[in-house]
């Protein structure tokens, strides 16, 4: 079984993680923990960040967001109980709905938990 757990740091994603951890899942269950950093995009592919900041400030902000996202994934993996399940993590950037569906289809996911 392949499960996609989508987290955003909210109390709801914490509750979803606890619920998933409480399930008695089949052996060889694979869980991908995913967080998506939203990037609002306007017509022509222009992002809000590219309009209002310099490239150096934009790079610094992206690095900070990436670091926070990685911390969130690490905390979520620990909450699931490392070692019980095969866990993979990933940070993606873009439109959350599109990214989640793309990841679910690409990994042939049986269940999406959010």
Q: Which domains does the chain have, with CATH numbers?
A: 2-113 (3.40.50.620)
| pLDDT for the residue 8 | 94
List 38's β-bridge partners, or say none: 94
Under 8 Å between Cβ of 4 and 96: no
Percent of the chain past pLDDT 90, that is, above it, reads: 54
Structure tokens at 98: 């599109």
Question: Would you place residue 26 in the very low, low, confident or very high pLDDT band (cuts 50, 70, 90)?
Answer: confident
Radius of gyration of the chain measured on its C-alpha atoms: 16
Segment 51-83, tens digit of pLDDT: 665 677 767 777 888 899 999 999 999 888 766
Strand pairing category for 30-38 and 86-94 = parallel
| pLDDT for the residue 60 | 78
* pLDDT above 90 (res 35): yes
- Which letter, b or e, does each residue of 88-108 get, where b requires 16 or more Cβ atoms within 10 Å of its Cβ? ebebbeeebeebbeebbeebe
What's the whole-number mean pLDDT along residues 13-26? 91
């Amino acid at each position: 079984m392949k499960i996609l757990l989508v987290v955003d740091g909210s109390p709801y994603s914490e509750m979803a993680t606890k619920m998933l951890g409480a399930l008695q899942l089949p052996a060889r269950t694979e869980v991908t923990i995913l967080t998506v950093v939203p990037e609002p995009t306007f017509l022509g592919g222009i992002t809000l960040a590219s309009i209002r900041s310099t490239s150096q400030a934009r790079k610094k902000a992206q690095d900070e967001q990436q670091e926070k996202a990685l911390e969130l994934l690490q905390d979520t993996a620990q909450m699931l109980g490392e070692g019980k399940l095969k866990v993979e993590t990933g940070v993606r950037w873009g439109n959350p709905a599109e990214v989640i569906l793309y990841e679910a289809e690409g990994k042939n996911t049986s269940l999406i938990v959010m």
